[in-house]
Amino acid sequence: MNNILPTDIQKYLKKHSSTNWNFYSTKDQKYTTVVVIPAISEFENIKLLVKSLAENDDTYFDETLFLFVINNLKSSSKEIKIDNKKSIEYLKQLANKNSAKINTKLNIDLIDASSNNFELEEKDGGVGLARKIGMDLALSLFNYETERQNIIVCLDADCIVESNYLTTIRNYFNNNTASAGYVNFKHSTVDFPQNEIAIINYEIFLRYYVLGLKYANSPYAYHSIGSTMICTAESYVKVQGMNKRKAAEDFYFMEKLSKITKIVKIDGTAVFPSSRGSWRVPFGTGQRVNRFLDKIQNEYLLYSPKSFSILKYWINAFYSEDILSAGDYLDIAKNIDNSLANFLIDNNFLHSWNKIIENSSSNKQIQKQKQLWFDGFKTLKLIHFLRDVEFSTINMFDALNQLFSEMEIQFEYKNFENEIPSIQIQKEYLNKLREIA
């Protein structure tokens, strides 16, 4: 197939992509969907994931590639490298379609970032770089002559997916003009039953934060979970690709996407991330599970709903069509809450706003700059600032009750007054959050 890469793709790859890695297979087939799956020491989980993927509806199998990035550092342990070698050999069999035990309709390929001379460098090596390697190389695999959107789907090796996972994603992008989004998720509570209480706690924390942002009408009210992210090839290039962060690569990647397009949620299917504890990243799901089980601190606390109320008032004022002076915005902030004004001062708002006015040529540009300045990271910083200086965290279920009440969400709940309810009641709260956030 004649498949000359578009100019913007060529420019991106020349400027931002590494030439140290390549595909195992050299097939000329082109795709509309590439699912990128970084993996380190995941041999057993990869087999489970492949089985899960093979059980999907096969409507889009021909135009989909599942691309694994098997990676480790030069300094990784012997055990990790042995496990990765097993994964590589297994995936090579699947790529060659030599395994009669698994549905060979799947198009599978791999990138070896594990063997000698291909390991990730100590400085940058981690999940961000592994995702980036796969996502960058995926750009050369798309069919740019099709009218369909070419999409990069992120997944992790310790997940399984619903049987309608691929068709739901592909149908959404076939029928809508979205260019970035995420799939709904539900952390597994069966793979590590001893971790069930910990993962329920963590997922409540994640969804409560997004619900708070929705209440505040924040444009950053979406989940940033690496195994759920999706974007078009076009939007990937526009934001200059994935970053190399060893953790929180998903947060910063989704934030970049959110500044150029709306992040959509794709319901109707789900990814099931593992509930295991993990050493693979310095923070995130695995570390939160470890921390909960080690009882290092009280995990049954959430940000005060009052913090999201302050955020709501600030967004309503700042994102309005009015264009005021920095001083006027600070006066508004003081009227909302003195801590908000102090946060803006601490974050150099006066200087930043004056530069925005000075460098913007139209009201439309100024409105865009508002969102770029008060972005997802500053939003999180504000919530943390308010937590630290004025509105301390409160009992998880009291916080949920207050926010549900403020948002007029129908739910049968009690006043817990710092008590922790049974795991069954915790599941009821989580299920409600899964419906609304």
Query: H or E element: which one contains 233?
Result: helix 233-238
Mean pLDDT confidence for 393-416 = 91
Residue 172 above 80 pLDDT?
Answer: yes
pLDDT-based confidence at residue 28 (cuts at 50, 70, 90)? confident
The per-residue pLDDT for range 78-136, each reduced to its tens digit, is 999 999 999 999 999 999 876 656 656 899 999 999 999 999 999 999 999 999 999 99
| Spatial contact of 327 and 346, defined as CB atoms under 8 Å apart | no
Beta carbons within 8 Å of 272's beta carbon, 6+ residues apart: 159, 160, 161, 162, 185, 186, 187, 188
So what's the pLDDT on residue 284?
A: 57
pTM: 0.94
Q: What pLDDT sits at residue 3?
A: 61
The residue type of 270 is A
Residue 277 has pLDDT above 70, yes or no: no
**Predicted local confidence at residue 90, as pLDDT:** 95
Confidence check: pLDDT of 280 > 50: no
Q: Is 135 within 8 Å of 242 (Cβ atoms)?
A: yes
pLDDT tens digits for range 188-247: 876 676 788 989 999 999 999 999 999 999 999 999 999 999 999 999 999 999 999 998
> What confidence score (pLDDT) does residue 372 get?
95
Does pLDDT of 417 surpass 80? no
The average pLDDT across 27-35 equals 92
Q: Which stretch of 11-15, 63-67, 277-281 has the lowest confidence by average pLDDT?
A: 277-281
- What is the pLDDT, as a whole number, of residue 194? 72
Q: Which two tokens stand for residue 205?
A: 């924390």
**β 394-395/180-185 pair status:** unpaired
Residue 87's nearest CA partner among 72, 104, 75 is 72
pLDDT of residue 188: 83
Between 348 and 286, the more confident residue is 348
CATH no. of 7-294: 3.90.550.10
Delimit the CATH 3.90.550.10 region(s) of the chain. Answer: 7-294
Task: Kindly report the number of other CB atoms within 10 A of residue 240's CB atom.
Answer: 11
Alpha carbons 283 and 319: distance in angstroms, whole number: 32
Find where tokens 């509570």 sit.
189
